[in-house]
Structure 1
Amino acid sequence: MLSLTGRVKLDPRLIVEEAMNTGERRLIVISGNDSPEVASEIAKIWLSKREGRLLIATHMGINLDRIPLDDATSIDFDQTEEVLGGTWDILIADISHQFRANDIGRLIEVVRGGGLAILTIPPAEEWINSMTEFQRRFMVPPFESRGVRQLFKSRFLSSIGKRGTFLLGEEVRGELCGRVSKDRAPIERTGDPLFDLCATRDQQRVLRSILDAFKERKRAFILTANRGRGKSAVIGIALSLIMNRSKIRSAVVTSPSIEGVQTIFNFLMRGLDAQGVNYEPLIREGRIIALRFKGKDVFYLTPESAAEVEVSLKVVDEAASIPVTTLFKFLGGGFTIFSSTIHGYEGAGRGFSLRFLGRLRKSGIPHAEERMDEPIRYPPDDPVERWLYDFLLLDAEPGEPPKNLEATYREISLDSISEEYLRKFYGIYILAHYRNRPNDLATLLDAPHHFARSLEAEGEPIVSIHLAEEGGLPNSLLEDMVRGMRDLPGHMIASRIVLHYSFKSFGRLRGWRIVRIATHPELQGMGFGTRALAEVEREARGKSVDWLGAGFGATEDLLRFWVRSGYHPVHISPSRNTVTGEYSVLVLKPLSEEASKLTEEVLKEFKRRVLASLHDVYFSLNPMVARLLLKSKLDGGKAKLSTSQRSRLLGYVKGSYVYELASDAIHEVVRSYFWQGKDCLTPREEAILVAKVLQGKPWETLKSRFGVKEPYELLREIVSNLLSCLDGLRDEA
């Protein structure tokens, strides 16, 4: 057995006692060649005093045999999402070979109060100078020689030693906090078996509020909290009561992943058990996807599908990770429960509060709101929770907007940026984007081809910009990419243009991809985002960069911003994202002469594909988004009409023919209009042309989508205006 007291200056037995006595968690990081064995000994000390559950996480089982503990649950880091909702007393995670920020966020939070989170690494200097599997994906050509920056590991090690956290190894950090017990106020037992399933007073209060909102026929109930407060559990209990005691026959639950609703289903079953109701779960690949009872059913759908289905009761869990446009689709009728983490690794919950709740409150839609504060697994003010939020910047927020808004462009040195500036810089992302993950922070800090810029006023960041270098690829790799044999991570735009359009020479050009750009939420709409893009372009031109680009889930507002800034859409994914319901789009702005020539060729191929696919592959694409995809101006593309087509087109415009008799000719002139990137019609008129002529939507769809009473006559008028726009075509017709 290892001599713990001889190896370190701080006896781990005291850390174990302090955790048990305070009811708080303690984090222990062990460094050294024997760190897995030392972790086992510390776990045995804890287990010698109390029974408990043990979770072990490793990368592909490496070092698992060096943690000789029985009755433990062992998982790979790729399975961390599967343990969410579970509770363990001790965590041992060997992060020697895999160190992903997302995994740390998930694993730390499954440890209950009084327990230990133990992380093991080799000697600290050896670990800092090695690469984890997560970091290896940064080493893409031609940036390998620069090396990973290792700033995220350094950030991790320097964070250990604060209250409740300890480093044991060659260096010892951390101080015992004292032995004051933190007993919780006992939860009120009501005698109602459903309310007695609640673990905290907060849960009981929220359960009553959900039931009251349903009885009062509110349209929505919004529940927010930090992670670990039992939101999903109380929603599951409420669902069991509403479904069992009301006339509702069907309900849908949704989340960005099927794993996200498992706790809801589990507590739905516990609630039905408490009411003596028999049920039948439908399980697929070990996960519950539906529950049937008493002729009723509750089932899971992806967010986009759940928003469209017609049922009277819907539950949206982790709403912060779902676009606001999709969230508002849930408010069409019935009762919807929205649940969101305010601070957590799932997404930007504070952004959800600003973007969704702000609009909901102004809409006049009847709704109720509640917030939960009391943790389920550990006491309030748990020091390990505070450490996790500080380390991963989960609750980072921008500073107060400066009074003097005279902005300057700043090149940020990630090696020397202050913690205060980093928190404000990253906090802007959290409030502006709904798909932020801790892994994004690690990528920014470590990837050799990623870098940061900001627009700042009075020394405060007001626009945050995350960029990545792409391109400059050797011919040997480009040959493989053209043949579809290789898709290089880290080269999102370059690889897709080479792969999908076979323009090998584009891969040799150097580009900057704008990974993230976000403006302080209180300064949006004032032109700072556009100014920041202009500054990035100025710097890129000065450094002989060939192109700028970006990739994102296409919404009308976002795409309009990029098109207005001179960026051309050059690629759209063939299918929607299952979580957001959006198509992914790449935009490009050429800076050099060679990039301009290649971009024009890419645009021709892109327009051909989109124009030929709107009736099929992109039939469900938002017409307002589709028209923006087609705004780039190209030479040629003049409408080619036969004598018969010209005659029928003229007859349609004059009212002699119905649309159906001239549809082929109308399609040809509409295709010509969008090919040339004309700008004679209003955005609404263009969208109507896309919907009817290019996508083939029914007339009834035009009525409902665009609020048109007489779509037949409106379309005739739009086509007439279009002919006036196309050079000489109306006269010829």
Structure 2
Amino acid sequence: MDIARSLRAEARRANERRLLVLAGDPDRTRARARAALDAADIPSAETTVVGPESFLDCEHHEQSRAEELLGRTRTAVVVDAHEELRPDAVGRTVGAVDGGGLYVILAPPLDRWPEERDGFDASLAVPPFGVEDVTGHFRRRFVETLRAHRGIAIVDADTGTVEQDGLTNPPPSHPVPDPELPADARFRSETYAQCLTDDQRDAVQAFEALQGDGTAVVVEADRGRGKSSAAGLAAGNLAAEGRDVLVTAPQYRSAGEVFARAAQLLETLGVDFTRDRPSDPQRLDFAGAGCVRYAPPDEAAALPNDPDVVIVDEAAALPVRRLEQFLDAPAVAFTTTVHGYEGAGRGFSVRFRDRLAESDHTVTDVSMTTPIRYGDADPVEVWAFRALLLDARPPVDQLITEATPETVEYRRLSTADLLADEHLLRETFGLLVLAHYRTEPSDLARLLDAPNLTVRALTHEGHVVAVALLAQEGRLSADTRATMYEGGRVRGNMLPDVLSTQLRDEAAGIPVGQRVLRIATHAAARSRGLGSELLSEIETEFADQVDWLGVSYGATPELVRFWADNGYSTVHLATSRNATSGEYSVVMLDPCSDDGAALSTRHGGWFQDRIAAVLSDSLDDCDPDVVRAVIEATDVEPTLSLSEWEWRLVAGVPGGASVLDTNPKPFRELTRRHLSDAAERTALSPREERLLVRKVLQAHPWPTVATELDFVSERECMRTLGGIVERLTRLYGDDWVQEELDRHQ
């Protein structure tokens, strides 16, 4: 194919990439792809096919395994999208193509592609919706970007017609000189010899700060700038100096480049070291007692074996609460993708940076802008950012600084609204990215195509200042409910699934609700009641249409109070931590009908019945302030049904006539009653309530509780608990119980 040969020649001359779209019959597009790669003189050893089958004699991965290309470089990547187009697969593979290479997409005829339904569309059809309810808006927009952007050739594979040649006639690229060795470098000179750009050299030098305690380094870059490689070069130097370097990332594959570059440097330096496994090592050990080792975020946050340095790769994919835990390390570095699917979750740049600035660490910042694999003006990168909205961002601060609940307009943003206004779409999606620690290109497709999702927003003078993404759940058929109850997988419907499968309530799928998947307020307009205003408008709109509004999220005391203040009550607290966020998820409901109220009351009561037993078992490490908040947020007030003997046992504790350990059950009931009693919460201080949670509900040993809550001794801790029990007994005990209490004073 002449067009492929011309594209490759131009790409090599400019050190850029080119995109070739082959549209038509599947067999014809595959045959033309084979011919195109031959004409472009791209060896099979430098080619990867991503799709349902390998039709070339080269590396092959299904789209679901596209992450295998992360951190790797290929001359050609062919994405076969005939059976499905997974947006995440595009986001994960497009950056793997080297300068001078080709990114090839095989697709049905472009005019009818948006109307066809594929395997990815089927994943958007959550019950009670079918695949016929899924729209093709994402692919329609995707096709429009292919036709609109420079550097993209489109060929009709059925006729051989070149619809657009993709040639841009750029000037030849100029050789980039090797970075110079910094005059004041403290890492070995061989380190800087491996840097490919001045940006990478500067990033590696910034990591030198980690040689001292009380330091933090932040490296921000778009994908493909070499930040993980820079971290690996630094890790190798630090370990060779005898330091214990702990590396963490959302998944090991994100940190694989760190280990690869660290090992490569150490081989160059001639340092003796061992790998825990020949390929993809997760631990490198050195004769000088230094090491580079990996741990997943939930383990790494505990700083196992007291590392000297922690490197958090792809930090923006972790929640702020998790990132804060790494500030306890002597020296810590955060590398993060500014744009791109790994970089979702701008809590890092919006919220965590404030926490970092307030810490005791001396912070060194560095940004990397120069691509390593291809030239600065690469048109394929420009296209990918636009097609997948990798660079979507909220409006600039100046546009919404005056926003208040009185100045904003509530808007029901339809897909038509978003597609008709690219600026509105970018602001909306950019703000949704802020609401979650991980957003991927598939979330854009869901936003535009999923039949169960809707978007609501508050705008100030036309700009999005707060946004919520809602998912319809429930109203499930008897067969679907039975499948769910019996443990079968049912897409979507997260809240009915939890209430049915985990909590054994098959009827939970009958009422219909709207779950708040994400909600975000612009950072420049927080603490003005805009989030609550948006939830209030949503409740007003849906009150007559659904039985409940619901939400599930990683519980923090502040978030639980926010949702409780907006009418949501606790019905469930997960018994295992989210591996990434490190938080226990809470489920809350705001009933809108009698059926919704029955569901909420039923599960609120069950929650109260079981929470004490769970807190002394799988939830015994839950933050006591989270426990206080979730119990307070239950609408169902627990009954206090102590027997006469149990009351006598409780009344004897303040005077020392009895002890809590004889039977913790009545003390737990008394504690739950108090934490659920909004009218009497001022009877105890927050510290006293934490003592109740840690000792009575979670059954921690006295020495542990006394130390954690800063009591001078175990005896003082015990006396304080006795005084608490006395106050609660006087609040909730009958007259004869008061007499029993006075008898022991």
How has the CA–CA distance of structure 1 residues 410 and 668 changed in structure 2, closer, same or farther, with 3 Å as cutoff?
Answer: closer
Q: Does 1:372 align with 2:379?
A: no
How has the CA–CA distance of structure 1 residues 234 and 404 changed in structure 2, closer, same or farther, with 3 Å as cutoff?
Answer: closer
Q: Does 1:197 align with 2:194?
A: yes
**Structure-1 separation of matches of 2:362 and 2:103:** 43
TM-score (norm 2): 0.90
* Shift of residue 32, structure 1, vs aligned partner: 0.9
**8 Å CA contact retained: 2:311, 2:334:** yes
* Shift of residue 143, structure 1, vs aligned partner: 1.6
TM-score (norm 1): 0.91
How has the CA–CA distance of structure 1 residues 688 and 103 changed in structure 2, closer, same or farther, with 3 Å as cutoff?
Answer: farther
The match for 1:534 is 536
Q: Does 1:303 align with 2:281?
A: no
**8 Å CA contact retained: 1:549, 1:589:** yes
The match for 1:43 is 37
The match for 1:13 is 5
Q: Deviations over 1:420-455 (max 9, x none)?
A: 001011111223432222211111111111111111
The match for 2:589 is 588
The match for 1:505 is 507
The farther-off stretch of 711-720 and 617-626 is 711-720
The match for 1:288 is 281
The match for 2:48 is 55
**Structure-2 separation of matches of 1:439 and 1:155:** 14
Tell me the amino acid that sits aligned with residue 411 of structure 1: R
* Shift of residue 641, structure 1, vs aligned partner: 4.0
* Shift of residue 129, structure 1, vs aligned partner: 2.2
* Shift of residue 620, structure 1, vs aligned partner: 1.7
Q: Does 1:317 align with 2:313?
A: yes
The farther-off stretch of 517-526 and 288-297 is 288-297
For 2:538, what is the secondary structure of its paired residue? helix
For 1:361, what is the secondary structure of its paired residue? helix
* Shift of residue 691, structure 1, vs aligned partner: 1.5
The match for 1:413 is 414
Q: Does 1:334 align with 2:330?
A: yes
For 1:346, what is the secondary structure of its paired residue? helix
Mapping for residues 447-486 of structure 1, pairs under 5 Å = 447-482=450-485, 484-486=486-488
The match for 2:629 is 628
The match for 1:711 is 717
**8 Å CA contact retained: 2:211, 2:238:** no
The farther-off stretch of 621-630 and 520-529 is 621-630
Mapping for residues 570-719 of structure 1, pairs under 5 Å = 570-631=571-632, 632-643=634-645, 645-654=646-655, 660=661, 663=664, 665-674=666-675, 679-680=680-681, 681-709=684-712, 710-719=716-725
Q: Deviations over 1:472-520 (max 9, x none)?
A: 11122223333x1423211111122122333333312111111111111
* Shift of residue 600, structure 1, vs aligned partner: 0.8
For 1:172, what is the secondary structure of its paired residue? strand
The match for 2:185 is none
2:94 alignment partner, one of 108, 112, 121: 108
1:275 alignment partner, one of 269, 291, 294: 269
Q: Does 1:731 align with 2:732?
A: no
Mapping for residues 396-435 of structure 1, pairs under 5 Å = 396-400=392-396, 401-402=399-400, 403=402, 405=404, 406-417=407-418, 418-435=421-438
The match for 1:168 is 155
2:384 alignment partner, one of 357, 381, 388: 388
Tell me the amino acid that sits aligned with residue 579 of structure 1: T
Q: Deviations over 1:242-279 (max 9, x none)?
A: 11124x3x332111111111111111101111111222
**Structure-2 separation of matches of 1:291 and 1:646:** 60
**8 Å CA contact retained: 1:630, 1:677:** no
* Shift of residue 676, structure 1, vs aligned partner: 6.0
The farther-off stretch of 361-370 and 531-540 is 361-370
**Structure-2 separation of matches of 1:540 and 1:189:** 63
Tell me the amino acid that sits aligned with residue 472 of structure 2: E
**Structure-2 separation of matches of 1:705 and 1:178:** 68
* Shift of residue 317, structure 1, vs aligned partner: 0.8
Q: Deviations over 1:313-344 (max 9, x none)?
A: 21111111112122121122421121111112
For 1:588, what is the secondary structure of its paired residue? strand
* Shift of residue 156, structure 1, vs aligned partner: 0.6
**Structure-2 separation of matches of 1:127 and 1:683:** 59
The farther-off stretch of 570-579 and 453-462 is 570-579
**8 Å CA contact retained: 1:342, 1:349:** no
**Structure-1 separation of matches of 2:315 and 2:728:** 42
Tell me the amino acid that sits aligned with residue 464 of structure 2: P
Tell me the amino acid that sits aligned with residue 584 of structure 1: S
* Shift of residue 45, structure 1, vs aligned partner: 1.9
* Shift of residue 19, structure 1, vs aligned partner: 0.9
* Shift of residue 529, structure 1, vs aligned partner: 0.4
**8 Å CA contact retained: 1:340, 1:349:** no
**8 Å CA contact retained: 1:343, 1:349:** no
Q: Does 1:178 align with 2:169?
A: yes
For 1:186, what is the secondary structure of its paired residue? coil
**Structure-1 separation of matches of 2:445 and 2:707:** 46
The match for 2:353 is 357
Q: Does 1:141 align with 2:122?
A: no
Tell me the amino acid that sits aligned with residue 722 of structure 2: R
* Shift of residue 648, structure 1, vs aligned partner: 4.3
**Structure-1 separation of matches of 2:131 and 2:222:** 41
Tell me the amino acid that sits aligned with residue 334 of structure 1: P
The match for 1:8 is none
Q: Deviations over 1:151-201 (max 9, x none)?
A: 111111011131222332278246522131122431136493221122222
**8 Å CA contact retained: 1:636, 1:676:** no
1:93 alignment partner, one of 79, 93, 104: 79
* Shift of residue 659, structure 1, vs aligned partner: 5.4
**Structure-1 separation of matches of 2:178 and 2:620:** 54
**Structure-1 separation of matches of 2:151 and 2:345:** 26
For 1:315, what is the secondary structure of its paired residue? strand
**Structure-1 separation of matches of 2:40 and 2:115:** 32
The match for 2:444 is 441
Q: How many residues align?
A: 710
* Shift of residue 635, structure 1, vs aligned partner: 4.5
For 1:638, what is the secondary structure of its paired residue? coil
How has the CA–CA distance of structure 1 residues 728 and 531 changed in structure 2, closer, same or farther, with 3 Å as cutoff?
Answer: farther
* Shift of residue 700, structure 1, vs aligned partner: 4.2
Q: Deviations over 1:366-390 (max 9, x none)?
A: 2222111111111123221121112
How has the CA–CA distance of structure 1 residues 181 and 625 changed in structure 2, closer, same or farther, with 3 Å as cutoff?
Answer: same
Q: Percent of counterpart pairs with the same letter? A: 31
How has the CA–CA distance of structure 1 residues 668 and 496 changed in structure 2, closer, same or farther, with 3 Å as cutoff?
Answer: closer
**8 Å CA contact retained: 1:570, 1:603:** yes
Q: Deviations over 1:33-66 (max 9, x none)?
A: 1222222222112216x8971111113x2xx32x
* Shift of residue 410, structure 1, vs aligned partner: 0.8
How has the CA–CA distance of structure 1 residues 360 and 74 changed in structure 2, closer, same or farther, with 3 Å as cutoff?
Answer: same
**Structure-2 separation of matches of 1:136 and 1:513:** 21
**8 Å CA contact retained: 1:432, 1:520:** no
**8 Å CA contact retained: 1:111, 1:117:** yes
* Shift of residue 721, structure 1, vs aligned partner: 3.3
**Structure-2 separation of matches of 1:173 and 1:561:** 53
